[in-house]
Every structure is written in structure tokens, then in C-alpha cells.
Amino acid sequence: MPNPVNASIPEEVLRIADDIKTMRIRGAGKIARSAAQALIIAAEKYRGPPEGFTEYIRTVGVTLIRTRPTAVSLPNAVFYVLSRIDGLEGEEARIKTIEAGKKFIDLSLTALDRLAEIGSKLVEDGDVVLTHCHSTAVVRLLQKARQRGTDFQVYNTETRPRFQGRITASQLLDSGIKVTHITDSAVRSVMPRITKVIVGADTVTSDGHLVNKVGTSQIAIAAYEAGVPFYSATESIKFSPASFAGGDVVIEERSAEEVVDPIWLKGRRNVKVLNPAFDITDPEYIHGFITELGLIPPRAASLIIREMFGLRSGHLQLKLIEEEAEWSH
């Protein structure tokens, strides 16, 4: 179905969508807050007829959801805002969109702060924490532990192909935390020195699976083998109501150029490059999810989803995602 109002989406909103797609804006929490901000901007800049607003803002929501498929915080942010204007029209809907967008950003930042506070208490003197990729939630948690005066150090993976681990290393070093930067493939060999693994999350499913940066599941298995507890630090907005309703998590495949030099690839046309951005860790390897609601065991994920989003939200989200799929054909 052609999208009739696409042309009127403000430039600034389309830029945010593009920045999410190209990962200039990245990290599941930041992506969600940026999507909420984009909805606020779209509502503030709307100049069309009042009766066209609801359709317009849904189109903006769908445009944002289409940018990256894996982190559920993105559709959760869009759904949070859109569900609050359900049944409203015109100016009332426009004002409520702005209010809901601001409220979402506020809640998300408060959750981040709270989970960092809760998680920081898990870090003890003498700990050697391993982390993967760059997660704002993990960095905040470690910074809080440091502020509390806990004496610990961190091993962090470089995280190929996009090297988000370098951001983690810089931020931890700036906070006075001792960091050892390792290649992704060194994880198992350093595991005997590690006392805790703490990674972020892009999506947590209702049955307690963790979807996170590719390589996470290998780390979880290596930690399990060595008897090292494995945690994921995640705001509850990364729990997936759609998975509760039977929806699958789509693992994003990114371009070959992120993995190999295009010139190298040009001369080797028969080489197939695969670049999945995320993988899935089974609940049995996960000690707990550090959330703003406390430390949650994987088997309790469905309770969190029910509590935070309600029973019907999964079906409603799936409907929105299905509409999105129709539009993209």
C-alpha cells in the first residue's frame, strides 16, 4: 500500500530515522529515546489538517520502526506514544503525542539510572567484570560502582565489525576504571580471570531469552563453562510484548562492507559474507536481568511483560508491525 503522507514527514525526523539506520544513533535505549524525540518533533511540526494527524503520526511511527528490526525498545517506544492517542483526533492527539513522547524519555532515563544503581551493588571489591559491545546501561552501572568506591577492573571486547567496544573502553577509562581491551576471540582464554560478566540487551523475550550483540551467546556459554555468573543490564522497555504473543525476533543482517573492505570483496566475487548483528542467548546461561525493577530471573520475564505492558499489548504491537510489513512491499 503506498504511503500517502510520507512526503510531509519533517526533514529532521527523517534524519533521525536515517541516523538510527546507519547507526550514527545506536544502543537500544538511545534508539528508543531518539524515536520518542522524533515523534515529538513530528507532532510539533505538523501543519496539516487536524483530521489527518492520527494517520500522519502512525506513518512517522512506522517509518521509525522500519529503521532497525531487532531492538524491541524501538517499537516499544513508538507503541508507548501511539497507544496513548488511541481514539483521539486532531489537536488533542497532537498535544498528547508530545506529552507521551516526553514522558517516555523521562521514564527511560529514570529506569536507566535506577538499574545502574541496583546493578552497581552487584559489583564487589576485587571483581573482574567482562563486558561486550557498548551498552549505556552497563557503563552507567560500572560508573556508579566506581563512584561508590568499589575497587574492580573490566575486560572489554573490541566487538567486531563496528568496534563499539572502543567506545566502552574510552568511557570507562574516562571514569577512572581500569580496562583491558581484548579481541572477541580472546573471551574464552581470559574467562578464568573473570568473576562476573555483565552485558546489555536489545530484546528480552517472554521466555527469558536474551537478544544482544552478536558474540554474546558465545560469551555466555564460556562463562557457564567456567562457573562465572552472567548478567544482562536492561531497562524493562527492552522486554518484548510481541514475543509474548508469539512474534519472532528478527536478527538484523548488516552489509558485507562492515566486515571486509569493499575493494577486497570486489576481487573475490564468490566469497559470501554474512554479518548478523545480534545473537540469542538461552535463559539457562543467564543468572539474571538487572532492571529498574530489581534483579529478574529469566523465568520471570513474562511477568515483567504482563506487568509493564499489559496482556493485549503484544497483539497490538504485532498488528502495527504487520502494517509496517505491508507498507514496505
Binding-site member from 202, 224, 317, 324 for ligand RI2 (CB under 6 A)? 202
Crossing angle of the two packed helices 11-21 and 53-65, in degrees rounded to 10:
20
Taking the CA of residue 8 as centre, how many other CA atoms within 13 Å lie in the half-sphere pointing to its CB?
Answer: 18
**Smallest separation (angstroms) from ligand RI2 to the CB of 213:** 3
Shortest distance, position 222 Cβ to ligand RI2, whole Å: 17
Q: Which residues within the stretch 154-183 sit at the binding site for ligand RI2 (CB under 6 A)? A: 164
CA distance linking residue 30 with residue 142, whole number of Å: 18
Residues 6+ apart with CB under 8 A from 271: 260, 265
**Catalytic residue (choose from 86, 106, 133, 282):** 133
Tell me, yes or no, if 133 is annotated catalytic.
yes
- 196 vs 131: CA distance, rounded Å: 9
Instruction: Mention every residue, 6+ apart, whose C-beta is less than 8 A from residue 213.
Output: 132, 133, 159, 164, 199, 200, 202, 277, 278, 279
37 binds ligand RI2 (CB under 6 A): no
Choices 1-9, 129-137, 144-152, 260-268 (CB under 6 A): range interacting with ligand RI2: 129-137
Confirm or reject binding of residue 119 to ligand RI2 (CB under 6 A). no
Q: If we measure between CA atoms, which residue out of 52, 59, 54 comes closest to residue 87?
A: 54
Instruction: Pick one of 34, 212, 240, 313: the residue that binds ligand RI2 (CB under 6 A).
Output: 212
Among 69, 200, 241, 298, binds ligand RI2 (CB under 6 A): 200
Q: Does 213 bind ligand RI2 (CB under 6 A)?
A: yes
State the residues that interact with ligand RI2 by CB under 6 A: 26-30, 133, 135-137, 164, 199-202, 212-213, 277
- Residues carrying an active site annotation: 133, 202
